[in-house]
């Protein structure tokens, strides 16, 4: 139903058959969240507010250099996903 609506309202939209499979391995932001978590949670927090403050602080400290390896590894993840025909694959 949703795909039919999208097709009617967005004729240039690609079909679901052409979309890459839903895979966290294909989401660079997922990796950046893990990186951010490792930095923000390097010390225990006594409250939720302390954790939130630490996450915001570490987000502001992120540099392009910190995230470059994630972007550079993306083509490898795409090739692994294609080889696995959209199924599970190890990203080592």
The pLDDT, as a whole number, for residue 18 is: 62
Residue 92 has pLDDT above 80, yes or no: no
pLDDT in tens, 32-77: 888 889 999 999 999 999 999 999 999 999 888 888 888 888 888 8
The pLDDT, as a whole number, for residue 46 is: 95
User: What value does the mean pLDDT take over residues 5-27?
Assistant: 69
| Domain-embedded: residue 11 | no
* Domain limits for position 68: 61-91
The pLDDT, as a whole number, for residue 23 is: 63
**How many structural domains are present in the chain?**
1
| Domain-embedded: residue 78 | yes
pTM across the whole model: 0.56
The angle at the Cα of 85, spanning 80 to 89, to the nearest 5 degrees, equals 40
| Domain-embedded: residue 37 | no
| Domain-embedded: residue 80 | yes
| Domain-embedded: residue 79 | yes
Give the whole-angstrom CA distance, residue 33 versus residue 66: 12
């Amino acid at each position: 139903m949703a795909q039919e609506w999208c097709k009617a309202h967005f004729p240039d939209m690609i079909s679901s058959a052409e979309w890459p499979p839903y895979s966290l391995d294909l989401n660079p932001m997922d990796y950046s969240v893990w990186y951010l978590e490792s930095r923000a949670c390097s010390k225990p927090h006594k409250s939720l507010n302390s954790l939130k403050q630490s996450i915001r602080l570490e987000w502001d400290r992120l540099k392009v250099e910190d995230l470059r390896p994630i972007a550079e590894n993306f083509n490898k993840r795409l090739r692994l996903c294609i080889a696995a025909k959209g199924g599970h694959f190890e990203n080592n």
